[in-house]
Amino acid sequence: MPYILYICSFIFFKILAPILQLDRSTTGALTLTAGISSISFVGFPIFELLFGKEGLEIGVLMSQAGSFVVCGTLGIFTASYYSAKEVSAKKIISDIFKFPPFVSFCVAVVLNLSNFHFPVWGIEILQKIGSPFGILALISIGLQISFKRDDLQIKPLLYGLFYKLLIAPMLIFVLYILIIGEHSFIGKISVVGAALGSMNTATIIAINYGLNPKLATQMVSISIPLSLLNVGIWYLIVMNYEL
């Protein structure tokens, strides 16, 4: 699901950009923020609430092997592509392998395949080191949010929210539920995951690469609250569709 949504986001805004005369910075920011859902920060508690322990387990898989990998590979590719005056394959590959979350993911995969297990004290230390991340991410984004009339980019913001909150879950619903016929738990949780707001890390990447930082922060700050209602609507749709 995360891979499908991001590739479609890239294509959607790539086509839309010349039609609506969006500059490269805005196109890149919209692709990043509208194409990746906040699976871990927003999704985990929602999945556990709606689908129980099994929902949280699938959410972890959807996040670690899905949204974070997308963010660390396709997301970095997009950021490099839209921020550079001249596109360089060497620079894009270099940026991907220098992105700390992607490097951490690769290390984790190697440790997992080698059947390595951290001692209890090591796990506790890592958890304490990682626990402030969500708060720090929100603070760093929140400090850049401005709702002044002159700073609000209404039209691009609406385009981004339109894709993130409507097209994304509708796309997964049509593909998984209507076409493939995946009425099971996996299909339902995939639709709900697609309906979530924008990912914090994707927004930070957009900011770091200078891709319309104001629009990127507005996308995450507005899409996350709206997605709480959006998730409820799509949850009711998928749970009652067979009826």
For 53-112, the pLDDT digits (tens) are 999 999 999 998 899 889 988 999 999 899 876 667 777 778 777 777 778 778 888 888
Angle between helix 100-113 and 89-97 (nearest 10): 60
For the chain, the domain total comes to 1
* Beta-ladder partners of 37: 198
State pTM to two decimals. 0.84
pLDDT computed for residue 6 by the predictor: 97
Report the distance separating Cα 24 and Cα 224, nearest Å. Answer: 24
Q: What is the average per-residue pLDDT within 14-25?
A: 94
Report the distance separating Cα 241 and Cα 201, nearest Å. Answer: 33
pLDDT computed for residue 161 by the predictor: 96
Domain that residue 116 falls in: 2-240
The answer, yes or no, to whether residue 133 has pLDDT greater than 70, is no
Alpha helices in 88-212 (DSSP H): 89-97, 100-113, 120-130, 133-142, 154-162, 168-172, 185-194, 200-208
pLDDT computed for residue 1 by the predictor: 94
Report the distance separating Cα 39 and Cα 22, nearest Å. Answer: 28
Q: What is the average per-residue pLDDT within 34-50?
A: 90
Closest by Cα among 222, 240, 243 to 232: 240
